[in-house]
Every structure is written in structure tokens, then in C-alpha cells.
Structure 1
Amino acid sequence: MFGNFLIGLREGLEASLVVCILVAYLVKTGHRRRLPPLWAGVGIAVALSLAFGALLQFGSSSLTFQAKEALGGTLSVLSVGLVTWMVFWMRRTARHLKSELQDKLDAALAIGTGALVITSFFAVGREGLETSLFIWTAVQATGDGVRPLIGALLGLATSVALGWLFYRGALKIDLARFFRWTGAMLVVVAAGVLAYGIHDLQEADILPGLHSLAFDISTTIAPDSWYGTLLKGVFNFQPDPTVLQAGVWGLYLVPVMALFLLPQRSPSAPRPRTAGAPAAE
């Protein structure tokens, strides 16, 4: 449940902050009357994200077991790829997110109402679709009934509340630090989702090695025990992974975490020209 709460919190807060920045910029620049088109774009993005999540849930329920496992495994791998790209992108751009969004909003205001709707739609829609996909695959991975979904919804609700406090000025957030540490935790969650996806693809007979276990500690950490449930909810832990699952988990987690935690290089300032030196062509 905690893993899904983290997903909802981080992804939802990213979308909430985007909306807050857009709304605050319109208000401060005297374009309050242009808020309805902005909210229309946000509403369309949210509706599309909910529809996408419903399509995944209800569309997969009518499939055969093998087809459902193949779909779940493929979408798990896809969602991990998208989330990995997203955490690295946000790590790189968190400090400059506000200015980038304001530049896009200025361009949209110059074009007209339709451009404003499209700008807000794409600004929020990407996060919404990524969130729907990753939450769906994470819920499927835990397989713990409705509790993972409740955790994700609580995370989203918390992110909306934090976004509102951020907009009102009651909360100051170091975005770079927040997205750095939640991104690191999300990499751990993504590794578990990826391992689950590999197991799904093995059950669908797309990948081999379903019965080749790396280890089996089910007697030590029972899946139905409180600590087994906790480990599965937080890390998507499985006490009896296959060799391929364990290998892919390690090959993803170790290099991705190492790259993510590397200190970012500050752009070097241009060296001053020597007096009398000719300017570069």
C-alpha cells in the first residue's frame, strides 16, 4: 500500500505543481479571465487519464489467463520505462520547471484560447497517463485486493492538498530535493514492478524459466504474514522469484539507482575572452 501511496503522491504532486504554476502565472500577469480554458484543458487531461485506467482494468478482465498475463507483463515493462525516463527528466528539469511552463504559457496566450487549452492539456495529460499506467501495473503486481488502489488514491489526494498549500504560499517545497528522494524510492518500486512483469511474461510462455527459482524463502517470509504483506506492498517483494526475475531486478536497480544518485554537474560558465583576442566566428 505504501508503494502505491508513493506513486500517487509523487506523480500527483508533479501534476498539481504544474497546475499551480500555470494558474499563478495567469493570475499574476492579469489574465485571470483566461483561467476557464486552462481548467478545461486540465479537466480533459484528468478525464482521459481516468478513462485510460478504466480501459486497462475492465478491458483486461475479459481476456484469457495467458492473454491477461501477456498484457500485464508488457504494460509493466512499458510503465517502468516511462517512469524511469520521467524521474530522470524531472531530476534534470525540476529547478527550471517554472520558467519552462511560463514560456509555453506566454506562447499559448499569444496564439489564443485553443492553444491555452492544448498547453494545459499536454502539461497535465502526460503525467496523468503515466500515473494511470504505473498505478495499474503496481496494483496488479501487489495483487492485494483494493488496498493498493486506496493507497494510490490517498497519495493523489495528499498531492492535491499539498499543491493547494503550495499555491496559497503556506508551503515551501525544495522541488529538486523532493523529486530526488521520492524518485530514488520510485526506482525501487519500479524494480519490483519490472520483476513482476517478467514473471507475467513467463506465465504467458513468452519468456522461459518459469520453474527455475533463484531461491525460495516462503517458509521464512510467508506471503500471507504481516511482514510478507508489508514487503510486498512496499517493494513488490516475492519470496520465490525465478532466476530471470531476480537477475532483471538487479540489472535494473543497481545501475539505474547509481546513475540517478550521481551528483548533477552544474553548467560551466563560459571563460572570459582575453583582451584583444578576436571574437569567435
Structure 2
Amino acid sequence: MLANYLIGLREGLEAALVVGILIAYLVKVGRRDVLPRLWVGVVAAVVVSLGIGALLTFGAYGLTFQAQETIGGLLSIIAVGFVTWMVFWMARTARGLRGELESGLAKALTGGAWAVVALGFLSVGREGIETALFLWATVQSTGGGATPMLGALLGVVTAIVIEIAIYRGVVRIDLGRFFAVTGWALIVVAAGVLAYGVGDLQEAAVLPGGSALAFDVGAAIPPTSWYGVLLQGLVNFTPTPTWAQVVVWLAYIAVVIPLFLRATRRRRPAPSLAPAPTTARTTAGVHE
């Protein structure tokens, strides 16, 4: 549940920040009349994201076990690719996010109603689709159930509350630190999802070595114990991993962590989100 809460919080806050920046820019340039078009794009993006989540959840019913495991393994690997790209993208662009979005919206305003709808859809849809895919992968890796989805929902709700507080000038957030800390946590979660995806492909006989266990610590860490469930929910821990799962997990961590460390060190500190004394509602709490 905690891992899914983190995903919902981070992705939800990214989407909420995007919407807040776009709304603030329209208010600042005196184009409130365009706000309904922007909301059409945002709502459409949310609907598409929910539709993709429903398709992933219910679309596999009726397939053979091998087909389900193959699709699940491939989608888990794709989800890891998306979330890894997202973590590095935000590490590079957090500082210039406001300028990038405002520039895009300024161009969209000259392109008519559909251009603004498209900008709202693409800006939020990217986050929504990534969230749907990665949440589905993490829920599958932890055995499903309502608890993981509840965690994700609570994360999204928290993100919305935080963005409203930022916009109203109630709180101040260091974006650079927030995305760095959550980035480290998501890397560990993604490594577990990647190992789970490899395990699925081995069970489907797409990859060899499904019976070659690296170790078995089920007696020391029973998967049904509270700490076993906690480890599974946080990092997709399994007491009986195969050698391929262990190697993939270690390889991902060994490659991604140094690269992310370099990315966060090279990037200049991102500005905090806080309202200016007289322009809190026109900047959405984002400062250069």
C-alpha cells in the first residue's frame, strides 16, 4: 500500500502542478474564457487513463495462463521503462517546468480551442497513463486486492490537497528535494517490478530458468507474515527468487542508481513552491 501511495502522490502531484501552472497562466494573461477548454482536455486525459487501467485489469480474463503471464511480464517491464524515464525526466526538467508549460500554452492559444484541449490532454494524459500502467504492475506483483488501489487513491488525493495549498499560498515545497527523494524510492520499487516481470516471463516459459532458485528464505521471512507482506508491498520482495530475477534486480540497481545520483548532483537546486506576497494566484505557487 505504501509503495502505491508513493506512486499516486508523486504522479498526482506532477499532474496537479501541471494543471495549476496552466490555469495560473491563463488567469495571468486574462484568458479565463479558455479555462473550460483546458478542463475538457484534463477530464479526457483522466477518462482515458482510467480506461487503460480498467482494460489492463479486466482485459486478461479469458486468456490462457501462459498468455496472461506473458502479457503481465511484458507490461511490467514496459512500466519499469516508463517510470525510470519519468524519474530522470523530472530530475532534469523540474526547474524549467513552468516556463516549458507556459510557452506551450502561449502557442496553443494562437491555435484555437482544440489546441488548448490537446495541450491539457497531453500534459495530464502522460502522467495518467504512466500511473495506470505502473500501478497495475505493482498491484499484480503484490497479489492484487483493494488495499494497493486504496493506497494509490489516497496518494492522488494528498497530491490534490497539496497543490491546492500551494496555489492558495498555504505551504512551501522544495520541488527538487521532493522529486529526488521520491525518485530514489521509486527506483527501488521499479527494480522489484522488473524482477517480478521477469518471473512472469519465466512462468510463461518465454524465458528459461524458472525452476533455478537463487535462494529460499521462506522459513525466515514467511510471505504471509506481517513483515513478509510489508516487504512485498514496499519492494516486491519474494522469498524464492530465481537467479534471473536476482541478476536483473541487481543489474537495474547497479546501473540506475549511479546515473540518478549523477543527474541529481548536476542539476541546480530547483526553486521552492511558494506564493509571492502579491501574486499568489497568478503563479500557482511556482517561482523562478
Q: Give the alignment's TM-score, normalised by structure 1.
A: 0.93
1:28-83: per-residue Cα shift (whole Å, max 9, x none)?
21111110000000000000000000011110122111111001000000000011
**Structure 1 residue runs without a partner (length 5+):** 267-281
Q: In 2, distance between residues paired with 1:220 and 1:16? A: 43
Q: Match of 1:53?
A: 53
Aligned to 2:216: 216
Q: Which residue identity lines up with residue 151 of structure 2 in the other structure? A: G
CA distance in structure 1 between the aligned counterparts of 2:267 and 2:154, rounded to whole angstroms: 35
Note if 1:66 corresponds to 2:66: yes
Q: How many residues were matched structurally?
A: 266
- Unpaired segments ≥5 residues, structure 2: 269-288
In the TM superposition, 1:167-182 aligns within 5 A as 167-182=167-182
Q: How many angstroms apart in 2 are the aligned matches of 1:179 and 1:113?
A: 33
2:96 is matched with 96
- Residue 166 of structure 1 is matched in structure 2 by 166
In 2, the alpha carbon distance for the partners of 1:96 and 1:242 equals: 43
Mapped partners of 1:28, 1:76: distance in 2: 42
Shift of 1:164: 1.4
Contact kept, 8 Å, 2:7 with 2:135, in 1: the verdict is yes
The alpha carbon displacement at 1:122 in A equals: 0.5
The question of whether the paired residues in 2 share the 8 Å contact of 1:3 and 1:234 is answered with yes
Measure, in 1, the Cα distance between the counterparts of 2:225 and 2:154.
24
Q: Contact 1:184/1:261 (CA < 8 Å) preserved in 2? A: no
CA–CA separation in structure 2 for the residues paired with 1:43 and 1:22: 14
Aligned equivalent of 1:186: 186
Shift of the 76–116 alpha-carbon distance from structure 1 to 2, 3 Å rule, reads same
Partner of 2:238: 238
Partner of 1:264: 266
Aligned-pair distance for 1:250?
Answer: 0.4
C-alpha distance in 2 between matches for 1:110 and 1:7: 35
> Structure 1: how far apart are the matches of 2:135 and 2:17?
19
Amino acid at match of 2:77: V
Confirm or deny that 1:43 pairs with 2:43: yes
In structure 2, the partner of 1:270 is none
Q: What's the offset of the Cα at 1:265?
A: 5.3
Q: Secondary structure at the match of 1:237?
A: coil
CA distance in 1, matches of 2:66, 2:93: 40
> CA-to-partner distance for each residue in 1:142-178, whole Å, 9 max, x for gaps?
1152211111111111111111112212122211111
Superimposed CA distance per residue, residues 217-271 of structure 1 (whole angstroms, 9 cap, x where no aligned partner)? 00000000000000000111111100000000000012201110121156xxxxx
Aligned counterparts of 1:62 and 1:22: Cα–Cα separation in 2? 43
Q: Which residue identity does 1:17 align to in structure 2?
A: L
CA contact (8 A) 2:216 2:239 kept: yes
Deviations 1:109-166 (A, max 9, x none): 1121111001111011011000000000100001152211111111111111111112
Tell me the C-alpha RMSD between the 2 structures. Answer: 1.0
**Are 2:127 and 1:123 equivalent residues in the alignment?**
no
The answer for the alignment partner of 2:200 in structure 1 is 200
The 8 Å contact of residues 7 and 186 in structure 2, kept in 1 or not, is answered as: yes
**Counterpart check, 1:136 vs 2:136:** yes
Larger Rg: 1
1:16 and 1:159 in contact (8 A); partners too: yes
Moved over 6 A (4+): none
Q: Distance in 1 between matches of 2:40 and 2:173?
A: 27
Q: Identity over aligned residues, as a percent? A: 58
